[in-house]
């Protein structure tokens, strides 16, 4: 499972197929976004596309706008988008890394046959 620390970079990785959506536990975004608000979406999309107040992480992805927004809506609808700026005015520094890996505790794996089977498959694939 993955925890993302950047909306623009994490959504880009999902759209480009570098990260599978189902592997994402949560994205903790520095951005305050309502993906259903057209005006807000246009502001965020243009910022990520052209830069300015934000980094141009989506530069060259003009043709992917619909898919980028779809992923943002999916994260939002599935409760996988946490936006601390909605609750405070604090600024969070931008980090170089933006994906954290998290694993199920070994006690849980041992006590859950389905999780154990998935863990064994994961180890097999990771070793290839």
pLDDT the model gives residue 41: 95
pLDDT at 53 over 80: no
What are the structure tokens assigned to 9, written together? 């970079």
Q: Quick one: which of 33, 26, 28, 31 has its CA closest to 78? A: 26
Q: How many CA atoms lie within 13 A of 24 on its CB side?
A: 29
Q: Give the residue, 128 or 59, on which the prediction is more confident.
A: 59
Provide φ and ψ at 24, rounded to 5°: -90, 120
For 120-128, what is the mean pLDDT? Answer: 71
Q: For all residues of the chain together, what is the average pLDDT?
A: 86
What are the domain boundaries of the chain? 2-126
Rounded Cα distance between 96 and 98, Å, is 7
Rounded Cα distance between 70 and 74, Å, is 6
- 4: which strand partners? 27, 99
pLDDT at 87 over 70: no
């Amino acid at each position: 499972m993955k925890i993302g620390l950047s909306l623009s970079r994490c959504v880009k990785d999902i759209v480009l197929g570098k990260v599978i959506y189902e592997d994402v536990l949560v994205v903790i975004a520095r951005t305050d976004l309502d993906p259903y608000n057209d005006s807000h979406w246009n502001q965020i999309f243009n910022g990520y596309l052209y830069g300015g107040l934000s980094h141009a992480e989506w530069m060259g992805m003009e043709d992917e706008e619909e898919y980028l927004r779809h992923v943002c809506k999916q994260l939002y609808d599935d409760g996988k988008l946490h936006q601390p700026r909605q609750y405070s005015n604090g600024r969070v520094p931008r980090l170089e890394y933006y994906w954290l890996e998290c694993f199920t505790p070994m006690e849980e794996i041992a006590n859950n046959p389905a999780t154990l089977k998935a863990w064994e498959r994961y180890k097999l694939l990771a070793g290839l």
